[in-house]
Amino acid sequence: MNILFCSVPFRPSIGGIETVSALLAERFQRSGHRVVLVTQTASDTPDTDAFEVVRQPAAQRLFALVRWADVVFHNNISLRFAWPQLLIRRPWVVAHHTWIPAAGTAAALKRWAIRHASNIAVSHALAESLPVDCTIVPNPYADDLFLRVDGIARERDLVFVGRLVSDKGVDLLIEALALLAKQERRVCLTIVGDGPDRNALQKRALALGVGDRIDFVGRRVGPELVTLLNAHRLLVVPSVWEEPFGVVVLEALACGCVPLVARSGGLPDAVGDCGCVVPRGDSEALANGISALLDDTAARERYRARAAAHLERHTPDRVARDYLQVITDACRTAATQSAARAF
């Protein structure tokens, strides 16, 4: 079938939606479908993907692509890409990766529009926030990159990976280290990532007396990130906002880390039974969870032993098959309804 794949951000932009869009579009094409991906992201270099990429399409071009398509797929709903379907009926599938706000004109339009689509949500929490029934298909991770690497000693304690912004709760994690220090426990933390809060977090660590236990290494991607994850025992995700999912949890699991996460949105889905979940916004709970996991080697090994089965549900091939099933079902339903109208 002809699939018009809509992804507002796409590479060379870097982020979760961009990564998932590339993984899915590649596998849709590999499965024998013809994929054209439209995006608002500009690029200075030619695209080398197996599928066609159309960047910042004019209205006439977008209208023609919707007419060409057998089905329109939105990797996160986009009103700017959805308007031609007011004039051209096509089966429509929307995958939800983040929350639609409760207020505002655009949010109200999105909540109305998705009633006319088949909907996918990446976590139970996200599905429960939407006014429509959803098929839950969790996010994939790059299973060809994030792997356990032989020869790397797992000698470091904690690692955090993410943007250094207030939503991510890194200040709570620093407070948890300070609480452990008061118990005369020296726990070290590697912070991978960058952002506007970096300087403030470094000052906070110094003020609490744990600056020498935290290594701010900046942004790391690809093999560098894999090496770092393989060197750590625990991944800590202390988010204070509702995370829609949490692909970093899967990446860390695949590299042998045991995750300790806040009870936030889709993070418990990402962890499954392969790690620990603690109350959100609670530095003392974080400290207790860290202490318990670092002390219990057997528990960490049990969590690691469960990782392979959990990760199998999140491979790009498995996730793409599940998406294509929803897309195929939407096309069949549309064909049935069209035939019924003909009579």
Name the percent of the chain lying above pLDDT 70: 99
pTM comes to 0.93
Report CA 87 to chain centroid distance, whole Å: 33
- Residue 162 backbone zone (phi > 0: left; psi -120 to 50: alpha; other: beta): left
Whole-number pLDDT of residue 252: 98
Whole-number pLDDT of residue 337: 81
2-140+315-342 belongs to which CATH class? alpha beta
The yes-or-no verdict on residue 16 having pLDDT over 90 is no
Report CA 169 to chain centroid distance, whole Å: 17
Place of tokens 């600056």: 211
The yes-or-no verdict on residue 230 having pLDDT over 80 is yes
Whole-number pLDDT of residue 342: 65
The yes-or-no verdict on residue 232 having pLDDT over 70 is yes
In the three-class reduction of DSSP (H, G, I as helix; E, B as strand; rest coil), residue 289 is classed as helix
The yes-or-no verdict on residue 343 having pLDDT over 70 is no
The per-residue DSSP string of 225-242 comes to: HHHHHHTEEEEEE--SS-
Please state, in angstroms and as integers, the Cα–Cα distance from residue 57 to each residue in 63, 64, 70, following that order.
Answer: 9, 10, 19
Whole-number pLDDT of residue 243: 95
The yes-or-no verdict on residue 14 having pLDDT over 90 is no
Asked, colleague to colleague, whether 2-140+315-342 and 156-312 share their fold, the answer is yes
End-to-end alpha-carbon separation of the chain, Å? 25
User: What is the chain's alpha carbon radius of gyration, rounded to the nearest angstrom?
Assistant: 22
Instruction: Provide the b/e sequence for 111-126 (b: ≥16 CB within 10 Å).
Output: bebbeebbbbbbbebb
Question: 209, 178 in Cβ contact below 8 A?
Answer: yes
Question: 209, 232 in Cβ contact below 8 A?
Answer: no
The yes-or-no verdict on residue 339 having pLDDT over 90 is no
Q: What is the mean pLDDT of the chain?
A: 96
Neighbouring-strand partners of residue 2: 34
Q: What is the spatial order of strands in the sheet that 52-55 belongs to?
A: 52-55, 34-39, 2-6, 71-75, 92-96, 118-121, 135-136
Domain boundaries, the chain: 2-140+315-342, 156-312
Give me the sign of the Cα torsion angle 313, 317, 320, 326: negative
DSSP code for 85: G
Q: Which two tokens stand for residue 187?
A: 């726990």
As a whole number, mean pLDDT of residues 230-240 equals 98
Residues 27-82 have pLDDT tens digits of 999 999 999 999 999 999 999 999 999 999 999 999 999 999 999 999 999 999 99
The per-residue DSSP string of 135-163 comes to: EE-PPP--TTTS---TT----EEEEEES-
In the three-class reduction of DSSP (H, G, I as helix; E, B as strand; rest coil), residue 322 is classed as helix
Whole-number pLDDT of residue 15: 78
| Candidate CATH numbers 3.40.50.2000, 3.40.50.300, 3.90.1300.10, 3.40.190.80; the one for domain 156-312 | 3.40.50.2000
User: How many angstroms separate the most distant Cα atoms in the chain?
Assistant: 78
Whole-number pLDDT of residue 338: 72
Cα atoms found within 13 Å of the Cα of residue 15, Cβ hemisphere only: 12
The yes-or-no verdict on residue 151 having pLDDT over 90 is yes
Whole-number pLDDT of residue 340: 67
Question: 259, 120 in Cβ contact below 8 A?
Answer: no
Residues 239-270 have pLDDT tens digits of 999 999 999 999 999 999 999 999 999 999 99
Measured in residues, the chain has a length of 343
Give me the sign of the Cα torsion angle 322, 76, 144, 234: negative
